[in-house]
C-alpha cells in the first residue's frame, strides 16, 4: 500500500492545481489573488514530497513520472499563467502571446524530462520553480505591466534551456 502513496500525492497535487484553475475562472471569488498562489505553493510542497517518497520507497515508475508531468502542467503551468492573465494590466495581445510561449515551453520541458534520465541533474529550470516564481510574483504583484511579459518570457527560456541545474535531493537510500 505504501508504494501507492507517491502517486496519491501526485493526484492530490493535480487536484490542487485544478482547484486553483477553477478559482481563477470564478467571476467574483474573494481573495483569489492570495488563495491561488497559496494553492500553487502547497502544490510545490506536495510535488517535492511525492518525488522524495517515490525514491525513498523505491516506488518510482513510468506511470508516476507521467502523472507527475500531468499534475505539473496544471499546477505550475496553467494555474499560474491564468492567474497572471487575471491580474495583469499588460496589453491582452502581448499577454496572450507570452502565455502561449510559457505553456509551450512548459510542455516541451516536461516532455524532454520524461524522455531522458535526469537523475543527477535537471536540464533547464524545472516547471515547479517557474510556476512558484509566477505565483509569488502574482501574490506581490507590483502593477508594472512591462515586467510581466519579460518575466514570463525569461521563465519560458530558462525552462527550455540546456543549462544543467543540480538537484536538491540526489541520494537514494541504501539497499537493505
Mean pLDDT (the chain, rounded): 90
- 118-156: pLDDT as tens digits: 667 778 999 999 999 999 999 987 677 789 999 999 999
| All structural domains of the chain with their residue ranges | 2-165
Residue 176 has pLDDT above 60, yes or no: no
Domain 2-165: give its CATH superfamily.
CDP-alcohol phosphotransferase transmembrane (TM) domain (1.20.120.1760)
| Residues 75, 19: Cα–Cα separation, whole Å | 9
Q: How far is CA 63 from CA 11, 151, 159, in A?
A: 12, 33, 23
Pinpoint the alpha helices (H) of 89-163.
92-115, 127-139, 147-160
For range 24-35, the mean pLDDT: 89
| Residues 150, 147: Cα–Cα separation, whole Å | 5
- 41-89: pLDDT as tens digits: 999 999 999 999 998 999 888 899 999 999 999 999 999 999 999 998 8
Handedness of CA 38, 41, 47, 48 (dihedral sign): negative
Strand, helix or coil at 101? helix
Grid cell, residue 123, equals 536540464
| Separation of CA 141 from chain center | 19
- Helix (H) or strand (E) run with residue 64 in it: helix 62-72
Amino acid at each position: 500500500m505504501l508504494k501507492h502513496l507517491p502517486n496519491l500525492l501526485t493526484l492530490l497535487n493535480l487536484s490542487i492545481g485544478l482547484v486553483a484553475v477553477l478559482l481563477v475562472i470564478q467571476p467574483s471569488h474573494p481573495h483569489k489573488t492570495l488563495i491561488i498562489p497559496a494553492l500553487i505553493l502547497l502544490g510545490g510542497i506536495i510535488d517535492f514530497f511525492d518525488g522524495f517518497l517515490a525514491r525513498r520507497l523505491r516506488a518510482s515508475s513510468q506511470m508516476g513520472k507521467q502523472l507527475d508531468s500531468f499534475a505539473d502542467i496544471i499546477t505550475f503551468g496553467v494555474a499560474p499563467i491564468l492567474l497572471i492573465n487575471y491580474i495583469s494590466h499588460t496589453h491582452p495581445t502581448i499577454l496572450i502571446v507570452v502565455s502561449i510561449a510559457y505553456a509551450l515551453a512548459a510542455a516541451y520541458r516536461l516532455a524532454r524530462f520524461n524522455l531522458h534520465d535526469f537523475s543527477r541533474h535537471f536540464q533547464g529550470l524545472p516547471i515547479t520553480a517557474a510556476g512558484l516564481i509566477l505565483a509569488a510574483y502574482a501574490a506581490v504583484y507590483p502593477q508594472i505591466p512591462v515586467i510581466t511579459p519579460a518575466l514570463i518570457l525569461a521563465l519560458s527560456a530558462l525552462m527550455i534551456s540546456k543549462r544543467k541545474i543540480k538537484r536538491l535531493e540526489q541520494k537514494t537510500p541504501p539497499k537493505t
